[in-house]
Amino acid sequence: MQRICFVLQVKKDRLEEYKERHKKVWPEMRDALRDTGWHNYSLFLRDDGMLVGYVETPDFQKALDGMAGLEVNARWQREMRDFFEDAQGRDADRQMAPLEPVFFLE
């Protein structure tokens, strides 16, 4: 099991809307995440828009690739695209670079 942490940047003027949207993530999007290996998945938001993701998965690259192949994810990422800062215009799920794990306690 890999424990993965990544950081993204939500636009400061879209924070409230971002939070609202994440209270009602489509059930088919939640199912897709579960089916592609996303477990114990949390998102946390700092008031300056820094978004931290934490997820447990057998293989993070597989989890990303699994989602990348699904129509429901394409639709979700399209709707989310304008919430994120990214100079290169990538969707959020293409920016999820894992941070280095430095400590773990069971």
**Is 22 one of the catalytic residues?**
yes
Catalytic residue, chosen from 3, 19, 22, 90, is 22
Count CB-CB contacts under 10 A for residue 51: 19
CB 34 within 8 A of CB 19: no
- List residues near its own copies by CB under 8 A: 3, 5, 7, 18-19, 22, 25, 30, 33-34, 38-47, 50-52, 54, 98-106
CB 52 within 8 A of CB 43: yes
Q: How far is the CB of 25 from its own copies (least distance, A)?
A: 7
- Rounded to an integer, what is the distance from CA 71 to the centroid of its chain? 16
Q: Which is nearer to its own copies, 71 or 104 (CB)?
A: 104
Which residues have a catalytic role annotated?
A: 22
